[in-house]
């Protein structure tokens, strides 16, 4: 827990400096917060491409609005993650609204927009395959992959959280990802 407090204190100082236009501080802050921001956004959006896009939007917004950060109202990491959550929720709403607009237009044109049931079934099957394939990993591989890809931690952070050497995490990740790819390739065949 001590490491997180150190990062938060550093992030507080960096965000204050970013608010004054310090580019180096922004680069350092970017390195600290991009993983947690992506992890949070990914949990909300679930789509990797949209999650990357929203993460970049959040970090750009962070650069533009850092001067609004008030250290007395909370920690920098909390502030940044609040920005990320709001932006991710806005994207969900925007995508939902766009989908509803497309559906209305398609109904008016008297043509089916898409087979929603088939889409939901296919999406559910994909999630089931991913869960099934994750279940085929060793516990150690599954922990490392889950922390890195679903929770947004860097390999170094995963190593700290699991109290294992960085090289061990890299090996677990490589082996786990190879097994996942093989399993998922079998699912799509």
- pLDDT (tens digit, 9 = 90+) per residue, 81-126? 999 999 999 999 988 888 888 888 777 765 445 566 666 666 666 7
> What whole-number distance in Å separates Cα of residue 11 and Cα of residue 167?
27
Show the tokens assigned to 175: 């082996």
Q: Distance from CA of residue 48 to its chain's centroid?
A: 8
Measured from the Cβ of residue 10, the count of other Cβ atoms closer than 10 Å reads 16
Q: Provide the CB-side half-sphere exposure for 107 (13 A, CA).
A: 6
Answering whether pTM is above 0.85, one says no
**Per-residue model confidence (pLDDT) at position 2:** 44
> What whole-number distance in Å separates Cα of residue 132 and Cα of residue 126?
10
Show the tokens assigned to 160: 């700290």
**Per-residue model confidence (pLDDT) at position 157:** 87
**Per-residue model confidence (pLDDT) at position 123:** 65
**Per-residue model confidence (pLDDT) at position 117:** 63
> What whole-number distance in Å separates Cα of residue 112 and Cα of residue 118?
13
> What whole-number distance in Å separates Cα of residue 36 and Cα of residue 136?
27
> What whole-number distance in Å separates Cα of residue 159 and Cα of residue 113?
46
From the first residue on, what is the mean pLDDT of each consecutive set of 10 residues in the chain (189 residues)?
51 93 93 94 92 95 93 89 93 88 75 59 68 83 82 86 89 86 72
Long-range contacts, 159-166 (Cβ 8 Å, 24+): 160/3
């Amino acid at each position: 827990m001590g490491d997180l407090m150190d990062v938060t204190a550093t992030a507080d100082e960096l965000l204050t400096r970013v608010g004054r236009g310090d580019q180096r501080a922004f680069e350092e802050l970017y390195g600290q917060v991009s993983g947690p921001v992506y992890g949070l956004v990914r949990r909300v959006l679930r789509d990797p491409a949209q999650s990357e896009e929203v993460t970049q939007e959040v970090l750009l917004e962070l650069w533009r609005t850092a001067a609004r950060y008030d250290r007395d109202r909370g920690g920098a990491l909390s502030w940044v993650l609040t920005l990320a959550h709001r932006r991710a929720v806005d994207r969900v709403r925007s995508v939902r609204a766009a989908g509803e607009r497309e559906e209305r237009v398609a109904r008016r044109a008297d043509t089916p927009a898409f087979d929603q049931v088939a889409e939901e079934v296919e999406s559910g099957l994909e999630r089931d395959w991913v869960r099934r394939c994750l279940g085929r990993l060793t516990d150690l591989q599954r922990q490392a992959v889950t922390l890195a890809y679903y929770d947004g931690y860097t390999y170094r952070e995963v190593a700290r959280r699991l109290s294992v050497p960085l090289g061990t995490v890299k090996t677990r990740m490589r082996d786990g990802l190879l097994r996942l790819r093989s399993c998922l390739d079998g699912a799509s065949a």
